[in-house]
Structure 1
Amino acid sequence: MSQTVHCFDYLDDATGEVPGVAVVYGREAILARLALRQIRHVVVGGDEEDVPVARLEGKTAAWRDVIDEVGTVSLFGGGSRRLVILDGADDFVSRYRAELEKYVEKPKRSGVLVLVVENWPKSTKLFKKLDATGLQVDCNLPEKKSGKRSVPDAKALHDWMIKWAKKTHQIKLERDAAEMMVELIGPELGLIDQDLARLSLYVEPNGKVSANLVRDVVGGWRMKAIWDLVDAAVEGRTASVLEDLDKLFSMGERPQKLYGQIAWSLRRYAAAARIYQRAQRNGESKSLRNALADAGFPNWPKALDEAQQRVKRLGSIRAGRLFQQLLKLDLSLKGTHSHDDRGRLALERLFVGFSEELDPRHATADRR
């Protein structure tokens, strides 16, 4: 059985004894900190004083000093094994790889050695040995398989955010709010944690945090400007949209960052169209207003009236194409249009496609 586990899973179920050698690896500092805290709790308990714990710096530590620390029996700590944490251990692993490969086969019973590294290739002997006999906690963003490639696992990230918000900040983060946070600030777990703390100030303990609150608190004026821009684009006010987009670029905004908020807003229109069209095909009596509410638009009369007019103006053909358009745009911004100038052109082309002149219903009428 593999002893390599993602940090999200380890925090959920950190049962059993920590083996003599453990590795905490990856680029997410907040996850590494949480994993180390959990390992410390399992090895030496919750006592914050007089516990047998040593922290060494990997760049300067010598092999003999580290092993001596692991073997030292503390005068305090009530019989707990000694815990030795080696921070920034990438260089240490490179210098003492042969010694580590030998040590992991028969580690000292008196203590636990924890290596904290950023890079930990799966192809190495150390990885394979510890995958069988040690503990390896992956502190990178979660990934999943898509064909032969590994891609970010958005659902796992959103699930963790919801759990973390409840456990640490005593708030109920709604799923669409979690999705919006990632769209707004990216999958930056440290920033996400900071903004969850800030959001907790706006609701009662165990209160709900909605996407609207995230938009106002996390997005602020910038998000409102982008929402207004998207609404104007769907209404066909193309010239005004391109002017506002130019202002955002002149303020230093990058196409890839703007895309996240633009896409989040447009997906609501796409989702509403899909919900409504599916209901029509199945013979269900669902109004467009109800479909808009189901898609996440604010459920009050004025907002639904305005959104309904925009969807009707957009038309079923363009609304039905939106999901595919956004997927292609996302891929192009990560590939052929990753340069700022080309990314800007791609966003402008998206908005021009909402203009009255390019409405496919007119083209159909002309052919008649």
Structure 2
Amino acid sequence: MHATEFLADAQPTLPPVIICVGTQWKLRQNVLARLIELALGGDDASLTRLTGKTAEWPNVKDELSMVSMWGDRRLIVIEEADDFVSKYRGSIEKYFEQPAKKSILLLEVKSLPKTTRIAKLCASKGLEVDCSELKGPALNKWLTNLAKVQFGKTLTREALSLLVELVGEDLGTYEQELSKLSSYTGARTQIELEDVRSMVGGWTTETTWSMTDAARDGQLARSLECLEDLLRANEAPQKLLGGISFVYRKLAIAAELSRSMPLPQAMKEAGVFPRDQGAVEAYFRRIGRARADRLYQILLEADLGLKGGSKLPERIQMERLLMQLSGK
């Protein structure tokens, strides 16, 4: 069960042993908060936190067996428990067979191979909560719900797509960025693309848009100047490629759709922002059909090159990419 499913369940089953697997700190934090609410009635007086590197099983077993003075249950959390699980594997396996009736043991680990006996016992007698990163539709759904429930906002499709492109996999950062966007938009209930462009990423994001716009408009010198500024600020080429790809993937889709429909309709279907459609139409006329049809391939080659497929320095690869996209 993924953490988002666990958090959305009004009355989840709480077995004696729960293992949170994954590196997303925000999800682990939310799962713990939910367990405190469900098992302890929101009062953390019966919560005990231990660190996996220093915890000893005999002491943990004593804590699990102890009766709470403050409620019906106790919650014992072993943080960063990978070493703890490896050291006391046999003891934990035995505990699955005869767990304490009034306590819940929560183990937080980075990984739990499915072939281990602990994983199999957890599947049959406990609960494994997946706290790994979200991707694709699952991430979009989670973000949309977070914006609506926590901030009372809706995200346009373009704003959502750009936010994902800029933030990446850290779920905790999304909450911070949505908080900024909520304050920035004020009484407006909808977060637009321009809001994300203005608020997420600061000047580096604005410079990235200037770089892509200049390449689109044939201003290669200006585009390369922006690239130089970004690299001097220690922006990673892979991150910059993400911003470039966000823009030019839409142009590639529009070029492909334009074979079967008018270009204005194709740009709309591809998600090209209305403000940019005139500039994009001029761009296609300038670079021609053959180059427009290669946009996907150009982006793919750049991605593979930065992942080790090219021996050229990353700066040279990025400069070459901008030259290709600009039609030079």
> What TM-score does the superposition give when structure 1 sets the normalisation length?
0.82
Contact 2:210 2:226 in 1 (8 A): no
Separation in 2, partners of 1:14, 1:120: 26
Q: Residue in 2 aligned with 1:202?
A: 184
The answer for unaligned runs of 5 or more in structure 2 is: none
Change in Cα spacing, 1:305 to 1:299, as seen in structure 2 (3 Å) is: same
The reply on whether 1:18 has 2:4 as its aligned counterpart is no
Separation in 1, partners of 2:305, 2:97: 48
Pairwise CA RMSD of aligned residues? 2.3
Separation in 1, partners of 2:206, 2:289: 26
The answer for unaligned runs of 5 or more in structure 1 is: 143-152, 280-285, 358-368
User: Shift of the alpha carbon at 1:99?
Assistant: 0.5
Contact 1:256 1:343 in 2 (8 A): no
SS at match of 1:16: coil
Q: Residue in 2 aligned with 1:295?
A: 270
Separation in 1, partners of 2:236, 2:165: 14
User: Shift of the alpha carbon at 1:6?
Assistant: 1.4
What residue identity is the alignment partner of 1:186?
G
Select which of 99, 122, 125 maps to 1:133.
125
Change in Cα spacing, 1:34 to 1:206, as seen in structure 2 (3 Å) is: farther
Separation in 2, partners of 1:176, 1:127: 40
Change in Cα spacing, 1:14 to 1:347, as seen in structure 2 (3 Å) is: farther
Change in Cα spacing, 1:157 to 1:87, as seen in structure 2 (3 Å) is: same
Separation in 2, partners of 1:141, 1:206: 30
User: Shift of the alpha carbon at 1:62?
Assistant: 2.0
Select which of 59, 63, 76 maps to 1:65.
59
SS at match of 1:187: coil
Select which of 278, 284, 306 maps to 1:311.
284
Q: Residue in 1 aligned with 2:317?
A: 346
The reply on whether 1:124 has 2:124 as its aligned counterpart is no
User: Shift of the alpha carbon at 1:27?
Assistant: 0.9
Separation in 2, partners of 1:73, 1:225: 59
Separation in 2, partners of 1:356, 1:26: 44
Separation in 2, partners of 1:75, 1:225: 58
Separation in 2, partners of 1:45, 1:107: 21
Select which of 242, 255, 262 maps to 2:237.
255
The reply on whether 1:333 has 2:296 as its aligned counterpart is no
- Paired residues for 1:1-368 under 5 Å: 5-13=1-9, 15-46=11-42, 48=43, 51-77=45-71, 80-142=72-134, 153-204=135-186, 207-279=189-261, 286=262, 288-300=263-275, 303-337=276-310, 342-354=313-325
What residue identity is the alignment partner of 2:323?
V
Aligned length: 328
Change in Cα spacing, 1:159 to 1:332, as seen in structure 2 (3 Å) is: farther
SS at match of 1:277: coil
Structure 1 residues 334-353: Cα deviation after superposition (integer angstroms, max 9, x where no partner): 2324x8x6332222222222
Of Structure 1 and Structure 2, the greater helix share is in 2
SS at match of 1:309: helix
User: Shift of the alpha carbon at 1:293?
Assistant: 3.4
User: Shift of the alpha carbon at 1:53?
Assistant: 2.2
Separation in 1, partners of 2:142, 2:304: 26
Q: In terms of mean alpha carbon deviation, does 308-317 or 259-268 score higher?
A: 308-317
Separation in 2, partners of 1:60, 1:126: 21
User: Shift of the alpha carbon at 1:13?
Assistant: 2.3
Contact 1:82 1:112 in 2 (8 A): yes
Structure 1 residues 13-61: Cα deviation after superposition (integer angstroms, max 9, x where no partner): 2533310111112111101101111222222223x36x53222222222
What residue identity is the alignment partner of 1:319?
A
SS at match of 1:24: strand
Separation in 2, partners of 1:331, 1:154: 21
Separation in 1, partners of 2:113, 2:83: 14
